[in-house]
Chain A
Amino acid sequence: MTLLEAALRAVAALAAFLVLPLLVGQAEHKVMAHMQGRLGPMYAGGFHGWAQLVADGVKFLQKEDITPRAADRWVFRLAPGVALVPYLLALALLPVHPGVAAVDVPGSLVLLLAATSVGALGTLMAGWSSANKYSLIGGLRAAAQLVSYELPLVLAVASVALAGGSLSLVGLVDAWSPWWLLWQLPGGVVFLVAAAAELQRPPFDMPVADAELVMGAWTEYTGLRFAFFLLAEYAGIVVMSVLFAVLWLGGWHGPFPDALGWLWTLAKGFVVALVVIWVRVAWPRLREDQLQRLAWLWLVPLGLFQVVLTGVGVVAGW
């Protein structure tokens, strides 16, 4: 790989990182509004408020960057970066078209999981270092949630890796067949629920719970650092949605010529992102004990069942 190619790939990944989360954010504004019988932001940019998120970005940029006096200065300032940067790496790993991924390594699946698990540290750092009890409780809840949901997430992904016989995302898409839609269905459900919990999206948003914890770990953040957390959340939705599309829905497999593969991947990922948004509108927030119950009594057994099912299938040569 020449230096120019590496630079091009990095710029492409950065562009995707800056554009796709905004698209999902705008879709959330609009889809959520219409599901609740209202219009959503309509003013910014003229046509249906398309520039609302750009305006939000400008607004965040102008706000004062405050670090509370009692806070642990370094950890507090570092936390948004720790939350954001791993998702950039994760996004760069996702393949969208045969042979098209910003970073193509043999173990991309494990690297992606490792990167997202590092990103979770950012919330914990923010919650602890803010010197605020709401933030601390938010951080605590986040930690409990992340520990519980990491396991079903990894189990579901491991099942697909087992079925495809590869740890590379590209290899897994190549091995994909429509039969997986049924065979890997329990794992897919587990992944979708666990991913929503990992991203702390409603109905699993007790760590941020704005009504009781005033945004939890993010309470003390202002301006650009707060925006970084929001961007990390939406980048997380993009990563998890496209990952689901790649692993369970077959990425670029679809009717029409192969040249449209990238469109298939992105369209499937966008549909999954819409489901994530839909779930936010449809369900109220779970209670903390209900969340743990769901993880340990339903998702972990279901994930284990899926691994056994996949193992039987692989040995029997389905």
Chain B
Amino acid sequence: MTALDTAFAACGVLAVVGGLLAVTTRHVVHAALWLVVALLGVAGSLLVLGAELVALVLVLVYVGAVVVLVLFALMLTRAPIGPDRAHAVGGWRSAGAALLGLTTAGLLATVLVPLADGSVRRADVASRQVAAQLFGTWVWPFELLSLLLLAALVGALAVARRPAAEGAS
């Protein structure tokens, strides 16, 4: 086992443990914070594999903006300190969720494990390569995605503004 293997395994374990705790914890804000741990684990794995830009953008966007937004929404609504019993789900739903999660994980494992040959190889991906792929080969999907996000933004604005307009008229 090389140092690279160890680093990759450590980051992977961090991501999996963080993800599991994010789903199972009863504290809502803790769930958001465990999500940060999981994301940092994924970013670490990507870093070990040499995809520097993707890893850093993951941290910048998901930890720096998305989790901050999640925490903002939690604090704005209701984020009690201590376990949240009001939103506890029943046994059937937990079992269903666990089953679904395990099935997805199993499916992914059966597809991905045969592809792995047991060693961690570092393929340094330069930012230039990512940019060339993104703005060359994949430019149309990329632009379509931006349009989709823009549409979602405008839609959210429309939904948020409607009651105020009715109240004014």
Contact = CB atoms under 8 A, between A and B. Distances in A.
B22 to A, nearest CB: 14
B145 to A, nearest CB: 18
A140 B75 CA distance: 7
Contact of B68 (A70, A113, A124): A124
Contacts of B36: 118, 121
Nearest to A112: B56
Interface string B68-110: 1101101110010110000000000000000000000000000
Contacts of A139: 71, 75
Given A117-B63, A120-B64, A143 B71 contact: yes
Interface string A68-102: 00111001000000000000000000000000000
B81 A147 contact: no
Interface stretch (A126-134, A256-264, A276-284): A126-134
B75 A129 contact: no
Interface residues of A, number: 31
Interface of A: 70-72, 75, 105-107, 110-111, 113-114, 117-118, 120-121, 124-125, 127-129, 131, 136, 139-140, 143-144, 146-147, 150, 154, 167
A117 B65 contact: yes
B133 interface: no
B52 A106 contact: yes
A128 B68 contact: no
Instruction: Please classify the interface of chain A as helix (H, G, I), strand (E, B), loop, or mixed, using the class held by over half of its residues.
Output: helix
A282 B63 CA distance: 34
Contacts of A70: 81
A127 B56 CA distance: 26
Interface string B29-44: 1100100100000000
A127 B81 CA distance: 12
